[in-house]
Amino acid sequence: MKILLLGKTGQVGFELHRTLSPLGTIFAPSQEELDLSSPDAFASFLDQTRPDLIANAAAYTAVDAAEENREDARRLNAQLPEQLAAYCKSHGAFLVHYSSDYVYPGHGNDPWQETSETGPLSVYGQTKLEGDQAIAKSGCEHYIFRTSWVYSARGNNFMKTMLRLAQSKTELNIVADQIGAPTPARLIAQITTLAIHSNLPGGLYHLAPQGATSWHGFAQAIFRLAKAQGETLAMGPENAHPIPTSDYPTPAERPLNSRMALGKLEDAMSIKLPDWRSQLEQTLSEYLV
């Protein structure tokens, strides 16, 4: 099987490269090798490589910058998935695509279902939704995995930022009214590969760990576990102070409720997804080694 992996240098792409390798020959072009912003260049690349499976981990993820750079965000988050879906439909290939909790309106306290009404609050969320809709409309065979709060031992993410700040800061104010599930890229790649190997029926699924927390709760857990693993920090979890989103304004509005129901994926794969705390401990251990 020929596999095209897009976004290989990102958090999810790096992990996918490792987990998908046993399934076939992987083509994983860098940004220098393939300009994803050019539809013509990308169409030519697809014609040359003719992949059987495409894993699309490429995206415009700068949520605040997307408010100004709308066309760049739309190309990567909406038009590229549409182009991938058209190729897969016409060539009988399979598409794996990653979406976001930001497609939901973010109100209330109940977990979002795959059938819940969408209502993005930002350009990023809107363009991710447009990509989802284009894939579903194409009729190609696909998985769309909606996930949340992605982090890993590599790249730039909340876990690493908190650890860096805690080296010198003695106190931090952290948003406490946005609720979601911190999701390691490793888990996303593992479940993706298992889904492909086990012939999970195509469609839209939520993919995240069990449980939920706030950014404040996530930060406290990071500090607590890091100290337990022998890391020297200038502050502890008790020095992380909760603040409302209104005290930390950003160009793009964030959803307050990013809880996602996981039952559809768990039932279809006959698995129980792990708790976010155990996943943090594993990811933190990987990073601190």
d(CA 111, CA 72): 31
* 8-state DSSP, 116: S
Other Cβ atoms less than 10 A from the Cβ of 90: the count is 10
Which tokens hold the place of 152?
A: 């890993």
d(CA 89, CA 70): 27
Q: What is the DSSP string of 246-275?
A: GGS--SSPPPSB--B--HHHHHHHT--PPB
- Spell out the alpha helix ranges (H) of the chain: 11-20, 39-49, 70-74, 80-91, 123-138, 158-165, 185-197, 215-228, 263-269, 276-288
d(CA 173, CA 123): 26
Chain-centroid distance of CA 135 in Å reads: 17
Other Cβ atoms less than 10 A from the Cβ of 232: the count is 8
163, amino acid identity: L
d(CA 145, CA 133): 13
- Of 124, 143, 151, 205, which one is the catalytic site residue? 124
Collapsing DSSP to helix, strand or coil, 25 comes out as strand
Entry field: residues in the chain: 289
Other Cβ atoms less than 10 A from the Cβ of 255: the count is 25
**Catalytic site residue 151?**
no
Which amino acids are annotated catalytic?
Answer: 124
